[in-house]
Amino acid sequence: QVQLQESGPGLVKPSGTLSLTCVVSGGSISSSNWWTWVRQPPGKGLEWIGEIYHSGSTNYNPSLKSRVTISVDKSKNQFSLKLSSVTAADTAVYYCARGEEYSSSSWVYWGQGTLVTVSS
């Protein structure tokens, strides 16, 4: 059973860079799946941030593309999210997720989520 676990600072200063890691267990980061980040501001809906394949290919939400970098570390079986120039609007619970071949780009496995607050 694939398990995902997000980690990273829970507090980031405005204009700083948000950095999160998603550690994968029970499966290989090199499997034929896209690895995804989704976020949810407190009390609001879900927003797709972007995704990465183990080859390093990425797709980003255009609304965030200028500030987002998603990378993969095969040696550690994990992938990461960096979001630069953050503001209070980036305060959210950040989830990492992965689908299965049968589910296409809908996500079967999710991390528990980590709250990142942008505040001075």
By C-beta, is 46 or 88 nearer to other proteins? 46
Min CB(120)–other proteins separation in Å: 26
Evaluate the CA torsion angle 47, 49, 53, 54 in order and state its sign: negative
Evaluate the CA torsion angle 85, 88, 93, 99 in order and state its sign: negative
By C-beta, is 33 or 111 nearer to other proteins? 111
Interaction of residue 35 with other proteins, rule CB under 8 A: no
Interaction of residue 45 with other proteins, rule CB under 8 A: yes
**Interface mask toward other proteins for 15-34; x: CB under 8 A:** --------------------
Interaction of residue 62 with other proteins, rule CB under 8 A: yes
Calpha distance 34→36 (Å, rounded)? 6
Min CB(93)–other proteins separation in Å: 9
Position among 63, 71, 85, 117 found at the interface with other proteins (CB under 8 A): 63
Q: Of 79-98, which residues contact other proteins (CB under 8 A)?
A: 95, 97
What residues line the site for other proteins (CB under 8 A)?
38, 45-48, 59-63, 95, 97, 102-108, 110-113
